[in-house]
Structure 1
């Protein structure tokens, strides 16, 4: 299992479009991908789970990837977030 903390920089947070883009990236990998925010955990492959987290600009998320392609999955997720998730 690999983990990394990332700060959301999108001005409007993770609303539908960036949440969908995050899920698209996550679904390209076989690994189980989740993120922690506060005391809660969300599935990065579920749009409803990501939207339900109500992530705002400046929030810090800790992503956890566990599986056969965990390193590549984590790198892709972090890269997508740092590039703004299509915003």
Structure 2
């Protein structure tokens, strides 16, 4: 398992479009991918789970990837978030 903390920089947080883009990236990998925010944990492959976390600009998330391609998945997620998730 690998984990890494990432700060969301999108001005509007993870609303539907960036949440969908995050899920698209996560679904490219076989690994189980979750993120923690506060005391909550969300499935990064579920748009409803990501939206339900109500992530805003400046929030710090801790992503956890566990599986055969965990490091590749983590690298892709961090890169996508740092590039603004298509925003």
TM-score (normalizing by structure 2): 1.00
- The aligned counterpart of 1:54 is 54
How many residue pairs end up in the alignment? 87
Q: Residue by residue, what CA displacement relative to the aligned partner does 1:29-84 show, whole Å, maximum 9, x if unpaired?
A: 00000000000000000000000000000000000000000000000000000000
Runs of 4+ aligned structure 1 residues displaced above 4 Å come to: none
Unaligned runs of 5+ in 2: none
Q: Look up the SS of the partner of 2:4 in the other structure.
A: strand
Q: Which runs of 5+ in 1 are unaligned?
A: none
